[in-house]
Amino acid sequence: MAESLLNRIIRHIEMSGPLPLAEYMHWCMSDRQSGYYQTGKPIGQKGDFVTAPEVSQMFGELIGIWALNAWHELGCPKPFNLVELGPGNGTLMKDMLRATSISEAFANAVNVQMIEISGTLANIQSQVLGNAAKVEWHTEIDKVPDQPSIIIANEFLDVLPFRQYVKSGGKWHENCVGFDDTRNLSWVLGAGVLDTQDLPQEHINEPDGAVFEVSNTRETFVTNIAKIIRKNTGVALFIDYGHMKSGFGDTFQAIREHSFADPLSEPGKCDLTSHVDFDALKRAVTGKELEVYPVMTQGEFLLSMGLLQRAGELGKGKDAATQERLKLEAERLALPDKMGNLFKVFAFSTIPDLPPFAKQG
């Protein structure tokens, strides 16, 4: 029988010392044999967590209409890429394609490009999409054809590895995974420290035990997308839970069967994520000859895109139960105490105006 992921991680720590959280996360999520996205059925009521496209068809439909408008603003390029990063069950793309099918010109010009590392999920996506459009799968964004691109990612950035630094004795040490006497994985602070130049100014006031998170992987990923868009023109839209201003705090979470789990107890068996620092991502792409728009909340974005009107339209002439369901779905997506405020929408492009985003002030 293949050696368990836990044993392989322990052997690695024995040989090379504690694993920085970012590396531990990479093993747990992306290991080819036992990584979370290879083995699990993460998304949906029967999975570990529910994402916005799974909450309501309205989410994908409104993003589809947003993409259709962006395509017009780009001058209706033919052909063009509609790229989705980490498409999960394929629901968002399915709903987007249905909504955009109102434009025959868009449907004829679109090249759907799914960027997915999990073979298991790519199979599910392929079944869900059927032969709705010309669809190609890649494991890396660099493989998409050289042409204008509309790039969408929902709850994708949060799964990419990040580092945590913990203030201890006045210095910021990296949070790492080691193991204790009984060979259980446990948290240890690494010897390396973070240069205070890389921290927000207020770090001086933070007490010992404070946590700072940074993700080079996410910044590099978004910078790479900015390059692709600058080269061939296009727009990028990222939706995720996170904050608009870089700050301090531990946002690491492990989710299994819709509840919080211990991230160290069974590597590869739960979803490991953290909140996305949109401030850092904005800094990474600003000044690169692109329009970078102010970050919006998901609630603001969906309401500006016509969420309530869409719910009204779908419910027209339907029974009370259907209308009530649509109302609850809209509330879950947009109310501040549900997904409305925690989730943010971040976009940049090669075009000056991209409703509903305000221009950078």
Which residues of this chain interact with ligand SAH, rule CB under 6 A?
A: 37, 43, 51, 53-54, 86-88, 92, 115-118, 121, 154-156, 159
CB of 59 to ligand SAH, least distance (A): 9
Min dist CB 277 to ligand SAH, Å, is 18
Q: Which is nearer to ligand SAH, 135 or 199 (CB)?
A: 135
In the bound state with ligand SAH, the residue whose beta carbon lies nearer, of 10 and 271, is: 271
Beta carbons of 244 and 295 less than 8 angstroms apart? yes
Q: How far is the CB of 95 from ligand SAH (least distance, A)?
A: 11
Q: How far is the CB of 122 from ligand SAH (least distance, A)?
A: 8
Residue 154 vs 298, nearer CB to ligand SAH:
154
Task: Closer to ligand SAH by CB, 119 or 192: give it.
Answer: 119
In the bound state with ligand SAH, the residue whose beta carbon lies nearer, of 22 and 194, is: 22
Residue with tokens 């009204």: 312
Nearer to ligand SAH, 31 or 300 (CB): 31
**Residues 149 and 83 sit within 8 Å (Cβ to Cβ):** yes
Shortest distance, position 90 Cβ to ligand SAH, whole Å: 8
Taking a C-beta distance cutoff of 8 angstroms, is the pair 224, 141 a contact? yes
Q: How far is the CB of 257 from ligand SAH (least distance, A)?
A: 16
How far, in whole angstroms, is CA 198 from its chain's centroid? 23
Which is closer to ligand SAH, CB of 111 or CB of 350? 111
Minimum separation from the CB atom of position 345 to ligand SAH (A) = 13
Nearest residue relative to ligand SAH (C-beta): 86
SS3 213: strand
Q: How far is the CB of 237 from ligand SAH (least distance, A)?
A: 12
Q: How far apart are CA 291 and CA 357, in angstroms?
A: 11
Q: Structure tokens of 214?
A: 């940074």
Instruction: Pick the closest to residue 286 from 348, 355, 342, 212 (CA basis).
Output: 348
Cα–Cα distance measured from residue 106 to residue 78, given in angstroms and rounded to the nearest whole number? 8
Q: How far is the CB of 164 from ligand SAH (least distance, A)?
A: 19
93-to-97, 129, 133, 294 alpha-carbon distances in Å: 6, 8, 10, 25
The residue (of 53 and 190) whose beta carbon lies closer to ligand SAH is 53
Q: Which residues contact 270 (CB under 8 A, 6 or more apart)?
A: 36, 48, 254, 255, 256, 261, 263
Identify the sign of the CA torsion 272, 197, 168, 202: negative
Rounded Cα gap, residues 273 and 249, in angstroms: 14
Which residue do the tokens 């083995």 mark?
A: 39
Q: Which is nearer to ligand SAH, 18 or 64 (CB)?
A: 64
CB of 232 to ligand SAH, least distance (A): 20
Cβ neighbourhood burial of 155 (10 Å; 0-12, 13-18, 19+): buried
For ligand SAH, the closer of residues 28 and 330 by Cβ is 28
Query: Taking the CA atoms of the chain, what radius of gyration do you get in angstroms?
Result: 21
CA separation for the pair 174, 172 (Å, rounded): 7
Q: How far apart are CA 273 and CA 253, in angstroms?
A: 5
Name the DSSP letter for residue 339.
I
